[in-house]
Amino acid sequence: MLARILSLLFLVQISALLNTAYAQIDYVSLHDIESPERAPLFLKLNIVGSGQNLPLKFTLLSQSTETEMAAHRLNTFMVRLASLRPAIGESYILVYEFNGQAWAKVQQVDVSNELKSTTNTPSVIITNNNQQHAVPVSIQPSSTEQTCLLEREPKETLWSIANRYKDNWRVNVFSAMIAIFNTNKSKFNQGHIGHLMDNESLTCPSRKSIAMRGEKEAMRAEFFRLNELPF
């Protein structure tokens, strides 16, 4: 634990000088919390963006106090955050973009109900290679890293999932459903859009997949066409 705290102190100092750069944020969701309850907070966020790269910063808002978090980009879709403070009670991760003049809050993630996770995390989260802390955009995802996953209740329907993400993706609900379906066809019984399997994890659609969707009426017609195919 001591080694972990010391490495975290160093990472916080580095992060004060180096901002994680991502494309303009489309949506953010919690991937998992890696630290025990009432311990210094370690967690991973799923994060997807589009457009130009903008500096980002992440803060923890807990017990009416907001503090900046250290950030380490893991791959294209995921960032690990760390804070010397624990998250206690109602707590949020706030995401800010720097628009050239000021920091503007663009997303917040509620972590209040996830604080009892005890998933193991490596004892040291940094190495001697300082480029890890700079998190350059050119870094390629490791084949061992987890990909971006959608938040989903065990038996949640495709409509419900798409309805939750459509505003962040800036598309209509039919476009969101088709993007999720095209990305996760193996998670639908016999590849049918009307038969999403229970308890299956779903991969986030790519920016390209989301951008390929059309107007609402066209996507509505396509959804019903797919839904009426023989099962």
Encode pLDDT of 185-221 as tens digits: 999 999 999 999 998 999 999 887 787 777 888 888 8
Q: CA 142, CA 163: separation in Å to the nearest integer?
A: 31
Q: CA 206, CA 43: separation in Å to the nearest integer?
A: 23
Confidence band for 118, pLDDT divided at 50, 70 and 90? very low
Give the start-to-end residue ranges of the domains of the chain: 2-134, 158-227
DSSP secondary structure, the chain, as one string: -HHHHHHHHHHHHHHTT--EEEEEEEEEEEEEE-S-TTS-EEEEEEEEEEEEEEEEEEEEEETTEEEE-EEEEEETTEEEEEESSPP-SSEEEEEEEE-SSSEEEEEEEE-GGGTT------S----S-THHHH--TTPPPPTTSPPPB----TT--HHHHHHHHHHHHTS-HHHHHHHHHHH-GGGBGGG-TT-BPTT---BPPPHHHHHT---HHHHHHHHHHHHTS--
Which pLDDT score is estimated for 51?
60
Q: Which amino acid is at 174?
A: F
Which pLDDT score is estimated for 69?
93
Beta carbons of 80 and 71 less than 8 angstroms apart = yes
Which pLDDT score is estimated for 93?
93
Q: Over range 21-39, report the average pLDDT.
A: 77
List residues bridging with 48 in a β-sheet.
Answer: 27
Q: CA 117, CA 1: separation in Å to the nearest integer?
A: 17
Which pLDDT score is estimated for 127?
37
Burial 37-55 (b: 16+ CB within 10 A, else e): eeebbbbbbbbbbeeeebe
Q: Could you tell me the pTM of the whole model?
A: 0.49
Domain 2-134 classification at class level? mainly beta
How many Cβ atoms sit within 10 Å of the Cβ of residue 131? 11
